[in-house]
Amino acid sequence: MSDTIERIKCLIIGSGPAGYTAAIYAARANMKPVLYQGMQPGGQLTTTNEVENWPGNPEGITGPEMMIGLQAQAERFGTDVRDGWATKVDFSGGVHRVWINDQIELHCESVIISTGASAKYLGLSSEQHYLQMGGGVSACAVCDGFFYRNQEVVIVGAGDSACEEAHYLSKLCKKVTMLVRSEKFRASKIMEERVRKTENITILMNHDTVEVLGDGQVVTGVRALNKTTAETFDIEATGFFVAIGHKPNTDIFKDFLNLDETGYIIGIPGTSKTNVEGVFVAGDAADHVYRQAITAAGTGCMAALDAERYLAAKE
């Protein structure tokens, strides 16, 4: 049970681009935002080196550097940035209750959820090694495809996103090999057709990834298993893209908010509003389509403006 109860005008849960952008706007609107960083301070971008598509940085910026800047900007206007993560919520009453680390109980007039999503990986140790090295494993073709221009890459996945990403890569890369674990795509027929018709995409059905190959620093290929013949073979590649889905960090909200079948929060279209008054959502927690820093930041801005108008209307 709670040791303390604190009253908060605007609580922001999560410290990615969505959360910090919401905080900048909320702080400048005098909403006295309190932001809890969660287990990954700075969010997903802290796991990447080069961010080249964040406007205003013509030479690019590292993910950690970018997030330090966003935090500093939010704090400059008075955001109270804290360690800790939300472990439970109760959105059933007029005041929204949120528990931090199962200990601190917060009574909030408004809540902005910006808890993001986590990319799923295969879990192979070689995959994790090159992911952590920044050496050629990625879960985001739009973010990292550009680094593999005119090169050969492998992508694993079978859904609509995998097809979308394979097609995106095919426009940049010399050759894209797509490994599909089963004998069938999960993607819609139209998406499947699109990759099948693309000349520089080779589709290998019923193939598993056995290992990501490399020289210790960077990826040089992928070892695949043909499950029909039980043969393994190596594919040359400098990039390995994983497109097997994302998991939104929304479990604690499921009893109160409308979620889709994957767990993404369903907002009211064109706004950041959820089905609960005074609870708003921004960033990847509600976005399975764009999943970019700039769109997360844009919706963070929307959430702060929607929260500000909600609070003003209550006064």
Ligand X SMILES: Cc1cc2nc3c(=O)[nH]c(=O)nc-3n(C[C@H](O)[C@H](O)[C@H](O)COP(=O)(O)OP(=O)(O)OC[C@H]3O[C@@H](n4cnc5c(N)ncnc54)[C@H](O)[C@@H]3O)c2cc1C
Residues that bind ligand X (CB under 6 A): 13-19, 36-41, 43-45, 47-48, 51, 53, 85-86, 114-117, 119, 139-140, 143, 249, 252, 283-285, 291-294, 296
Q: For residues 23 and 280, give the distance between their C-alpha atoms in angstroms, rounded to a whole number.
A: 13
| R_g of the chain, CA atoms, integer Å | 21
Decide: helix, strand or coil at residue 283.
Answer: helix
Sign of the CA dihedral with 57 first, then 62, 65, and 66 last: positive
Q: Which residues are catalytic?
A: 140, 143-144
Give residues with Cβ within 8 angstroms of 204, minimum separation 6: 177, 178, 179, 180, 224, 226
Q: Smaller CB distance to ligand X: residue 86 or 225?
A: 86
Q: How far is the CB of 87 from ligand X (least distance, A)?
A: 7
Q: At what angle do helices 63-76 and 17-28 cross, to 10 degrees?
A: 20
Q: Smaller CB distance to ligand X: residue 226 or 295?
A: 295
Q: Exposed, middle or buried, 251 (CB in 10 Å: 0-12/13-18/19+)? A: exposed
Q: Smaller CB distance to ligand X: residue 18 or 179?
A: 18
Q: How far is the CB of 31 from ligand X (least distance, A)?
A: 18
Q: Smaller CB distance to ligand X: residue 53 or 232?
A: 53
Q: How far is the CB of 57 from ligand X (least distance, A)?
A: 11
Q: For residues 286 and 275, give the distance between their C-alpha atoms in angstroms, rounded to a whole number.
A: 13
Q: How far is the CB of 263 from ligand X (least distance, A)?
A: 12
